Amino acid sequence: MPEKDIMDYVWQLARAARRGRKNKNEGISRGAFRLLRILDKEGSLRAGELADRLDIRTASLTGQLDKLEEAGLLLRSRDPADLRVVRIQLTGRGREELESLRLRRREERERAEEILSPGEKEAFILAAVKLIAFLEEES
């Protein structure tokens, strides 16, 4: 059996993080979490503005917005200044869900940090920064 190389471990870590986060976030994806955080910070945004902040195409955002609106986490409404424009904002339920997600993420981060020594944590962060730059350069 061939020995694992560093990229095997990178992809294994990414998969494990995705699986664990999806289970803990009760179906809220990492992208949806980012979307909710942006709306919380920015307030009401147009779909194009939100897509720009997420670094995705507006067309790719529509399905995610549909799911989050159906779940009662955000609201799409016409801009009174220009009825052609649809603005997106968090609902009260969306803010509550975001706070719950932030708490779970903080707890998860604290548990993860407990298993690493300060030196291991520093080495991991340095290696991760280099690998992220490498992977982004490759794409």
DSSP label at residue 1: -
Using pLDDT thresholds of 50, 70 and 90, give the confidence band for residue 137: confident
Tally of CA atoms within 13 A in the half-sphere of 117 that contains its CB: 3
Closest CA to 90 of 20, 43, 26: 43
Per-residue pLDDT reduced to its tens digit, 64-111: 999 999 999 999 999 888 888 889 999 999 999 999 999 988 998 899
The mean pLDDT of the chain is 88
**Residue 26 in tokens:** 């009760």
How far the first Cα of the chain sits from its last, in Å, is 29
Q: Please, which residues have CB within 8 angstroms of residue 107's CB and are 6 or more apart in sequence? A: none
Q: Round to whole Å and give the CA distance between 41 and 53.
A: 12
CATH for 6-138 is 1.10.10.10
Assign 137 to helix, strand or coil.
helix
Structural domain boundaries in the chain:
6-138
Alpha-carbon dihedral angle through residues 99, 15, 115, 126, given to the nearest 10 degrees? -90
**What is the reported pLDDT for 102?**
92
- 120, pLDDT greater than 80: yes
Q: Please, which residues have CB within 8 angstroms of residue 48's CB and are 6 or more apart in sequence? A: 58
**What is the reported pLDDT for 1?**
56
Using pLDDT thresholds of 50, 70 and 90, give the confidence band for residue 27: low
